[in-house]
Amino acid sequence: MDGKESTASGVWRILDASLNRASEGLRTIEEYARFVLGDPQLSEQLKQLRHQTATAAEGLPRSQLLAARDTPGDVGTAIETPTETERVDALAVAIAAAARVQQSLRCLEEYGKIVDSGIGRAFEACRYRSYTLFATLEQLSQRRDRLADCQLYVLVDGGDSIEAMTATIAELAEAGADLIQLRDKRLNDRELYEHAAAAAATLRPSRCLFIVNDRPDIAAAVHADGVHVGQDELPATVVRQIIGPERLLGVSTHCVAQVEQAVSDGADYIGCGPTFPSGTKSFEAFPGTDFLRDAALTTTLPAFAIGGIGVENLEHVLDAGFSRVAVAGAITRSESPAAMVAELKQRLLRQDEATNR
Q: How big is the CA angle at 151 (ends 274 and 232), to the nearest 5 degrees?
A: 35
> Quick one: 265 exposed, middle or buried, by C-beta within 10 A (0-12, 13-18, 19+)?
middle
Determine the residue type at 268.
D
**Helix 3-31 × helix 40-57 angle, to 10°:** 160
Residue 338 to residues 116, 139, 323, 332, Cα–Cα distance (Å) = 69, 33, 20, 9
Taking CB atoms within 8 Å and a gap of at least 24, the contacts of 20-25 are 21/100, 21/101, 21/103, 21/104, 22/53, 22/100, 22/101, 22/104, 22/105, 22/108, 23/50, 23/53, 23/54, 24/97, 24/100, 25/97, 25/98, 25/100, 25/101, 25/104
Residue 42, Cα to own-chain centre: how many angstroms? 11
- What is the residue-wise DSSP string for 300-331? -S-EEEESS--TTTHHHHHHTT---EEESHHH
Residue 300, Cα to own-chain centre: how many angstroms? 11
281 is in an annotated binding site: yes
Q: How big is the CA angle at 27 (ends 25 and 30), to the nearest 5 degrees?
A: 110
214 is in an annotated binding site: yes
181 is in an annotated binding site: yes
Supply the DSSP symbol for 209: E
308 is in an annotated binding site: yes
279 is in an annotated binding site: yes
> Count of CB atoms within 10 A of residue 38's CB?
14
252 is in an annotated binding site: yes
163 is in an annotated binding site: no
Binding annotation: 181-185, 213-214, 233, 252, 278-281, 308
Q: Which residues are annotated binding-site positions for Mg(2+)?
A: 214, 233
